[in-house]
């Protein structure tokens, strides 16, 4: 009976794809269709709430002993539930934006219908995946489920995953708008349409990631809010893309419609990629997010090849290959967009140009790994060759006059095909070749490749990041760099400008360009490091290579806030801060405290990394506060909170404060250092650094627990230690929750908060079993030694203060955007009425 809801939802999705404006014909029918789309998820929720043991999914992850809120959260504890929840969020978004998006330009009906069809089609795809997985299948005989994972039995499990999937839904919707711009030729006003989804999408994404960090900080035993785990890094990529889109209007010059469409495609592709990272269990073996797993092996040394192994997995294969195909479709649409910009026409078979090579890539994915074990990435070559071949068949004699340097465009063999294939032969890394193709295509199709410096910069960053992370050899990185640098080396353009090198306008332009370029380059760096972090979390690489970007961001903010000041003084100030940072990093790297003296390599320690960006971040706080004050004064009306610049600078201030806290609590803390583990003797003060710790009592209880079957914890008194004097500052009770059903335990973190920051106490889980056995045999009083992990995190409050300010500012930006859009719509209506 419950499986019928899946089929009803599929028919509803098909009906809405055929009639995307059904609400105009019959409001009741449209509401009913959208409710049908959401029905499977709520049907599954109902089965968990009543603990329907006839359904295997409920038996596997639910349980009668769970509180109702955790039964509800168990719905998205595995593969099937999140897929259905994703459909619900997409359904809500399609209903909210069911009408043409208005602004300076009103979205055409064709564009509205196309983007709605894209989203409904994606919903249909998700529903078909759910049918294959079948969340309502009956429980087989003698099946016993493990229940909800112990780490997921927290209140944040109820909030965090749904918000992340809502964020991904915004990203998919933005890509649908971009695809509509390609295939319906309705590009005018696409910037407003994309921004209208980007602003709330960025708010939701920031909220979801922040709550995930809070989960790790308060509940899990990470000892902090961020650890560059592959799954959290995957969710960070769409956030970076949304940040880049939100700043595209502020960069100097007008962004082309092609640029907005490309940005919209990127954010959707990254959301799908982030989902791949989360759901492709076994590929990113270094992730602690192993709640969704696969039994496939992990022999290949690159992510794409490992995904190919999953295609034969009955559980994971269908879902993973589907997301991968959507990513290839988006890349094909990007190639299509660049081809259209080059040739200046759209053929009637444009969708065929996209579908045929993608089908070729699909065949390679489905059969290539079986037929060619030595080239499981054959899908990449199939995509490129198929696209180029169909492109030539569509317009075999098309030619465009160039006005500058172009890449080789032979009639039968072109550099668009030649370079990726040669690169693949030399570097058989599927995702790396895909990224090369994405960055190279705009330069290939340009009438003058020297004008495409943005894409050249991204390509060079791709090569550098590949070399830094160890994905490719240094020689190959140099070859890739030369491909992107070639136009600028061959056709040098000498400027005849005699103006001053340092002016207000130039510094302001540089600062505004940084808002887009730094985010884009950092996104490429993060993505490449993530692709290479499949067997170990490369924490050091993220922090080391990210430090110059933090410095650049803070420097750009300082330059912008001083845009009306003397430009020479601004430049001298920037240089002075940079020199001071480098001086302290080289000669006094260990002065910041924490684990600043911990070596990352022969020449680099954590203090050096921190000093690179820390001074500039501190310096820019004051100018940002004055900038916010000036934005309030600049508002002629009292409603300054309706101004986007005011709210945007609240976000900037929050981000700077958060990054200062990040330096002190994350960069300067080595969570793998054994020195943080302290063995305590009962009723004896153990001194470690500036603190003393006294273990006074071991506690054990089975009463009053919301989850778990028993708790074992240590009561510890914490002292400030100064020249032999001890001043009590608080008491903590870290411990372990016991789960008898699975025979496992979960660490219960305790945090001692002070005005200067938090101290996090983690009960060492390796001793839990031994303590339980000893206490049951000889009693609690017989235990005289316990081991705890202690992280001193000065400035940790800055992380949460900064995040809160960012949320406040983003909420204001979203509200301001809606208010501004309504004003523009009203003005447009008045103009049309007068005409």
pLDDT tens column, 687-719: 998 899 999 988 888 888 888 888 888 999 999
Q: What is residue 55's DSSP assignment?
A: B
Under the banding of pLDDT at 50, 70 and 90, the label for residue 312 is: low
Provide mean pLDDT across the span 590-619.
Answer: 90
Crossing angle, helix 430-445 and helix 317-343, to 10 degrees? Answer: 20
The whole-number pLDDT of residue 379 equals 55
Distance CA 641, CA 820 (A): 12
The whole-number pLDDT of residue 740 equals 80
Under the banding of pLDDT at 50, 70 and 90, the label for residue 638 is: low
Reference 322, options 527, 621, 121, 58; nearest CA is 121
pLDDT tens column, 259-305: 999 999 999 999 999 998 888 766 776 666 554 545 554 456 777 77
Bridge partners of residue 731, in order along the sequence: 717
The whole-number pLDDT of residue 344 equals 53
Return the ∠ at Cα 523 (arms to 626 and 279), rounded to 5°. Answer: 125
Under the banding of pLDDT at 50, 70 and 90, the label for residue 394 is: low
Provide mean pLDDT across the span 566-589.
Answer: 93
Q: Is the pLDDT of residue 658 over 80?
A: yes
Number of C-alpha atoms within 13 angstroms, CB side, residue 629?
Answer: 6
**Residues 817/195, Cβ–Cβ less than 8 Å:** yes
Dihedral sign for Cα 584, 587, 589, 591, please. negative
Structure tokens at 641: 């909170």
Q: What is residue 523's DSSP assignment?
A: H
The whole-number pLDDT of residue 429 equals 84
Flag the least confident range among 389-393, 476-480, 724-728.
Answer: 389-393
Q: Is the pLDDT of residue 357 over 90?
A: no
Residue spans of beta strands (DSSP E) within 106-194: none
Under the banding of pLDDT at 50, 70 and 90, the label for residue 835 is: low
**Residues 551/514, Cβ–Cβ less than 8 Å:** no
Reference 439, options 456, 425, 417; nearest CA is 456
Return the ∠ at Cα 440 (arms to 439 and 443), rounded to 5°. Answer: 110
Per-residue b or e along 94-119, where b marks 16 or more CB atoms closer than 10 Å to that residue's CB? beebbebbbbebbbbeebbbbbbbbb
Q: Which among 156-165, 184-193, 249-258, 434-443 has the top mean pLDDT? A: 156-165
Structure tokens at 514: 């940084």
Provide mean pLDDT across the span 8-33.
Answer: 94
The whole-number pLDDT of residue 349 equals 47
Distance CA 777, CA 669 (A): 39
**Residues 217/154, Cβ–Cβ less than 8 Å:** no
**Residues 75/48, Cβ–Cβ less than 8 Å:** yes
Residue pointed to by tokens 């954590």: 606
pLDDT greater at residue 453 or residue 368: 453
**Average pLDDT of the chain, as a whole number:** 84
Structure tokens at 440: 């190279």
Q: Is the pLDDT of residue 54 over 70?
A: yes
Flag the least confident range among 95-104, 257-266, 294-303, 738-747.
Answer: 294-303
Distance CA 488, CA 607 (A): 38
Find all residues with CB under 8 Å of 246, minimum gap 6, and list them: 195, 198, 199, 202, 813
pLDDT greater at residue 346 or residue 564: 564
**Residues 22/15, Cβ–Cβ less than 8 Å:** yes
Structure tokens at 366: 């489905």
Q: What percent of the chain has pLDDT over 90?
A: 45
Flag the least confident range among 23-32, 389-398, 750-759, 826-835.
Answer: 389-398
The whole-number pLDDT of residue 365 equals 47
Q: Which among 392-396, 401-405, 613-617 has the top mean pLDDT? A: 613-617
Distance CA 372, CA 364 (A): 9
Flag the least confident range among 64-73, 344-353, 814-823.
Answer: 344-353
Distance CA 253, CA 373 (A): 49
Provide mean pLDDT across the span 721-740.
Answer: 88
The whole-number pLDDT of residue 372 equals 39
Provide mean pLDDT across the span 432-450.
Answer: 88
Distance CA 175, CA 164 (A): 17
Q: Is the pLDDT of residue 490 over 70?
A: no
Structure tokens at 103: 């602004």
Q: Is 141 exposed, middle or buried (0-12, 13-18, 19+ CB in 10 A)?
A: exposed
Q: How many CB atoms lie within 10 A of CB 622?
A: 11
Under the banding of pLDDT at 50, 70 and 90, the label for residue 322 is: confident
Under the banding of pLDDT at 50, 70 and 90, the label for residue 34 is: very high
Total number of residues shown for the chain? 835
Dihedral sign for Cα 423, 425, 428, 431, please. positive
pLDDT greater at residue 139 or residue 284: 139
The whole-number pLDDT of residue 495 equals 46
Backbone angles phi, psi at 146, to 5 degrees: -80, -15
The whole-number pLDDT of residue 370 equals 47
The whole-number pLDDT of residue 779 equals 79
Distance CA 168, CA 85 (A): 11
Q: How far is CA 288 from CA 151, 221, 281, 537, in A?
A: 11, 11, 10, 10
Q: Is the pLDDT of residue 197 over 70?
A: yes
The whole-number pLDDT of residue 20 equals 92
3-class secondary-structure state, position 188:
coil
Distance CA 155, CA 174 (A): 30
Under the banding of pLDDT at 50, 70 and 90, the label for residue 462 is: very high
Structure tokens at 659: 């990054």
């Amino acid at each position: 009976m419950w499986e019928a809801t899946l089929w009803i939802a599929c028919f509803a999705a098909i009906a809405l794809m055929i009639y995307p404006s059904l609400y105009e014909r019959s409001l009741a029918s449209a509401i009913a269709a959208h409710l049908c789309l959401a029905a499977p998820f709520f049907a599954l929720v109902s089965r968990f709430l009543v603990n329907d043991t006839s359904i295997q999914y409920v038996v596997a992850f639910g349980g009668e002993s769970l509180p109702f809120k955790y039964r509800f959260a168990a719905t998205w504890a595995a593969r099937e539930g999140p897929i259905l929840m994703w459909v619900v969020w997409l359904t809500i978004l399609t209903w909210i934006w069911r009408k043409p998006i208005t602004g300076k330009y009103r979205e055409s009906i064709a564009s509205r219908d196309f983007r709605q069809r894209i989203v409904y089609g994606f919903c249909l795809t998700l529903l078909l995946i759910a049918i294959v997985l079948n969340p309502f299948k009956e429980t087989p005989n003698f099946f016993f489920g493990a229940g909800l994972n112990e780490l997921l039995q927290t209140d944040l499990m109820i909030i965090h995953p749904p918000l992340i999937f809502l964020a991904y839904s915004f990203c998919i919707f933005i890509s649908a708008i971009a695809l509509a711009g390609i295939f319906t030729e309705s590009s005018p006003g696409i910037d407003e349409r994309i921004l209208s989804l980007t602003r709330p999408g960025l708010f939701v994404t920031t909220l979801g990631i922040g709550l995930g960090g809070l989960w790790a900080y308060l509940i899990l035993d990470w000892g902090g809010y961020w650890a560059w785990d592959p799954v959290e890094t995957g969710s960070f990529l769409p956030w970076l893309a949304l940040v880049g889109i939100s700043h595209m209007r502020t960069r100097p010059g007008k962004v082309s419609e092609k640029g907005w469409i490309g940005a919209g495609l990127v954010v959707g592709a990254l959301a799908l990629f982030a989902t791949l990272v989360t759901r492709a269990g076994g590929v990113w073996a270094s992730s602690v997010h192993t709640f969704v797993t696969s039994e496939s092996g992990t022999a290949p040394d690159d992510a794409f090849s490992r995904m190919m192994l999953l295609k034969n997995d009955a559980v994971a294969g269908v879902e993973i290959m589907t997301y991968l195909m959507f990513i290839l479709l988006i890349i094909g649409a990007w190639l299509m967009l660049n081809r259209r910009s080059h040739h200046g026409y759209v053929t009637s078979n444009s969708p065929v140009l996209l579908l045929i090579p993608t089908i070729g890539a699909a065949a390679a994915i489905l059969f290539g790994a079986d037929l060619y074990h030595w080239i499981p990435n054959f899908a990449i070559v199939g995509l490129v060759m198929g696209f180029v071949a169909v492109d030539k068949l569509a317009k075999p004699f098309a030619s465009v006059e160039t006005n500058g340097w172009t890449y080789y465009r032979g009639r039968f063999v072109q550099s668009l095909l030649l370079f990726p294939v040669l690169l693949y032969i030399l570097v058989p890394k599927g995702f790396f070749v895909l990224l090369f193709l994405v960055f190279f295509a705009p330069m290939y199709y340009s009438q003058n490749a020297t004008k495409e410096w943005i894409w050249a910069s991204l390509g060079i960053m791709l090569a550098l990041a590949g070399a830094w992370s160890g994905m490719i050899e240094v020689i190959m990185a140099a070859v890739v760099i030369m491909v992107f640098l070639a136009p600028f080396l061959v056709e040098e353009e000498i400027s005849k400008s005699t103006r001053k090198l340092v002016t207000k306008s130039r510094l302001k332009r540089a600062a505004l360009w940084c808002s887009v370029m730094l985010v884009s380059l950092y996104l490429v760096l993060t993505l490449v490091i993530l692709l290479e972090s499949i067997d170990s979390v490369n924490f050091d690489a993220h922090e080391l290579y990210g430090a110059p970007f933090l410095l650049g961001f803070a420097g750009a903010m300082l330059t912008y806030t001083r845009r009306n000041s003397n430009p020479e003084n601004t430049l001298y100030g920037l240089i002075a801060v940079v020199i001071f940072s480098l001086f302290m990093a080289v000669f006094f790297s260990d002065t910041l405290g924490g684990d600043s003296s911990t070596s990352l390599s022969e020449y680099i320690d954590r203090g050096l990394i921190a000093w690179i960006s820390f001074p500039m971040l501190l310096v820019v706080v004051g100018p940002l506060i004055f900038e916010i004050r000036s934005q309030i004064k600049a508002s002629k009306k009292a409603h300054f909170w309706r101004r986007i610049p005011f709210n945007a600078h609240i976000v900037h201030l929050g981000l700077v404060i958060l990054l200062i806290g990040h330096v002190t609590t994350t960069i300067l803390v080595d969570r793998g250092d054994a020195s943080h583990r302290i063995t305590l003797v009962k009723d004896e003060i153990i001194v470690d650094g500036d603190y003393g710790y006294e273990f006074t009592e071991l506690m054990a209880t089975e009463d009053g627990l919301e989850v778990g079957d028993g708790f074992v914890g240590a009561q510890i008194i914490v002292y400030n230690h100064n020249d032999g004097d001890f001043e009590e500052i608080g008491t903590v009770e870290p411990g372990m929750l016991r789960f008898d059903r699975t025979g496992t335990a979960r660490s219960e973190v305790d945090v001692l908060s002070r005005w200067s920051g938090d101290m996090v106490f983690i009960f060492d889980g390796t001793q839990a079993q031994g303590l339980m056995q000893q206490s049951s045999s000889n009693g609690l009083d017989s235990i005289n030694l316990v081991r705890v992990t202690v992280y001193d995190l000065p400035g940790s409050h800055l992380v949460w203060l900064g995040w809160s300010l960012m949320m406040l500012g983003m909420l204001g930006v979203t509200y301001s955007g809606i208010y501004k859009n309504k004003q523009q719509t009203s003005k447009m209506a008045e103009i049309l009425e007068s005409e």
